[in-house]
Amino acid sequence: MTATTRPLLRRASSAVLLVMALVMTSAPLPHADAAAKTCSATPFRTNAGRKVVYRIPAMVRTPQGTLVAFAERRRSTSPAADISDTEVVTVRSTDRGCHWSKPRVIGDAGKGTVGNPAPLVDTSTGDVLLVTILRPKGGTTGHGFHLQRSTDDGRTFTAYAKASKDLAGIPRWSGGLTGPGHAIQLRSPRSKHRGRLVVPMGYKDGNRYGAYAVVSDDHGKTWKVGYKATGDDGRIEGTVAELPDGRLWISYRNRNAKAPVGTGRIATFSSDGGSSLDAPFKRAGLPTVSVQGSALALTGPHAGTLLFSSPSRKDPTRRHGMALFVSRGASAGKSWGSGRPVQKDSRPGAYSDLVQLDGATVGILYETGQTTWKERIDFRSLRIADVLKR
């Protein structure tokens, strides 16, 4: 080896190490070639005869490629089931959502309501974190949040009885309501808060509804309050996504279920990792009815594209036709195209959650059925190229 080649080799070695470090810290998606196969399955199926109703889907993908999904299992079929005997259950898939394990209870408080699952993955540790709220029997307000953790790829979680609660320490707001749907860890190299965990939440203070976030910069050991906003538009059920430039797109649902199409959601941005909002919330421009939805900022070949899942039918009294709405480029989060149907027939559809499987495929977990959207929770994978077709 000559003296001339040694510096070149050292520089090459340094470059290789840098690439390896980036790969390890960013938990890259599988190569797009692995995305040829798409599939559908039903991880959660309601049994009304036994008063078992599955609702409120949430889902994450671990660094090992495992999908871990969550839902509420309600023991009531009544319209007041939001505050019924409810527990949180989980399932896993190791083949990209084509097959799932049986539902397993991981959050139970007797006759109380454990709900609003908001999971996230800490790519620095590989842990799956699940945040939920508790409504004691007969209560209508959230008391939490409660944090459970899995260190074995979603196979097991810390006991719910030992889950911390009221970590945010917010007086008068009773801890708020998490998500529901996945929360996020900030991963953009351009973010000063890279690695931060961000959980969107909503609260009720008297007759006013508001939005806020709880954030953690130490992998969930301690938490503090991020952005806070109040309003008279009944904002509930928030979702958040991180754009490539490090900004967060934050959106909440209008609580009025009969709100006309286009007025059902509000949104804004945060340029400081969810610590504050760049501007007050305003109408999101999404041509959807008022219902919970999921935001997903794509990475890899389609970075800069923002997806949002929601029913696409224009009648606010009916939740039908689950679809993915697309916003990209300089307009990401500001303007939206028409929805791309998740399936060919316009069957009932309501709450949902999104996950990116690899550089070419996304997955959606959503409430659906033949007659009503409370019959089951389906999973379906879709090619991103098909979703982006105009």
DSSP 82-134: GGSSEEEEEEEESSTTSS-PPPEEEE--TTSEEEEEEEEEETTTTEEEEEEEE
Q: What confidence tier does 202 reach under pLDDT thresholds 50, 70, 90?
A: confident
Would you call 249 helix, strand, or coil by DSSP?
strand
- Flag whether 129 is in a domain: yes
Q: Which residues contact 218 (CB under 8 A, 6 or more apart)?
A: none
Q: Which domain holds residue 83?
A: 40-388
Average pLDDT over residues 129-144: 73
Element (H, E) at 21: helix 5-26
Contact predicate 238/211, CB 8 Å:
yes
Please give the radius of gyration of the chain, using alpha carbons only, rounded to the nearest integer: 21
Q: How many CB atoms lie within 10 A of CB 181?
A: 30
Place of tokens 């679809």: 323
Of 60-74, 171-185, 251-265, the least confident:
171-185
Domain total of the chain: 1
- Flag whether 17 is in a domain: no
Contact predicate 252/281, CB 8 Å:
yes
Q: Please give the structure tokens belonging to residue 296.
A: 């997903």
Average pLDDT over residues 123-130: 96
- Flag whether 20 is in a domain: no
pLDDT digits (tens, 9 = 90+) for 310-346: 998 777 677 888 999 999 988 899 999 888 999 887 8
- Flag whether 14 is in a domain: no
Contact predicate 362/354, CB 8 Å:
yes
Question: What is d(CA 318, CA 98) in angstroms, rounded to the nearest whole number?
Answer: 29
Contact predicate 300/312, CB 8 Å:
no
- Flag whether 163 is in a domain: yes
- Flag whether 198 is in a domain: yes
Is the predicted pLDDT of residue 6 greater than 50, yes or no?
A: no
Greater model confidence, 230 or 246: 246
Q: What values do phi and psi take at 6, rounded to 5?
A: -60, -50
Would you call 351 helix, strand, or coil by DSSP?
strand
pLDDT reported for residue 222:
87
- Flag whether 222 is in a domain: yes
- Average pLDDT over the chain reads 85
Contact predicate 353/59, CB 8 Å:
yes
pLDDT reported for residue 370:
92
CA torsion sign for 196, 202, 204, 205 is: positive
Tell me the CA distances in angstroms from 347 to 44, 318, 369, 375, one per residue in order: 17, 10, 7, 11
Question: What is d(CA 271, CA 244) in angstroms, rounded to the nearest whole number?
Answer: 12
pLDDT reported for residue 36:
59
Q: Please give the structure tokens belonging to residue 97.
A: 């959502």
pLDDT reported for residue 325:
95
Is the predicted pLDDT of residue 12 greater than 70, yes or no?
A: no
Q: Between the CA atoms of 156, 161, 162 and 165, what dihedral angle is there, to the nearest 10 degrees?
A: 110
pLDDT reported for residue 301:
92
- Flag whether 27 is in a domain: no
pLDDT reported for residue 19:
36
Q: Please give the structure tokens belonging to residue 362.
A: 């996304």
> 60 pairs with which residues across the strands?
68
The enclosing domain of 163 has a CATH number of 2.120.10.10
Contact predicate 376/368, CB 8 Å:
yes
Element (H, E) at 236: strand 235-242
pLDDT reported for residue 318:
77
pLDDT digits (tens, 9 = 90+) for 153-169: 999 999 987 666 555 55
Q: Taking the model in full, what pTM does it have?
A: 0.88
Greater model confidence, 48 or 41: 41
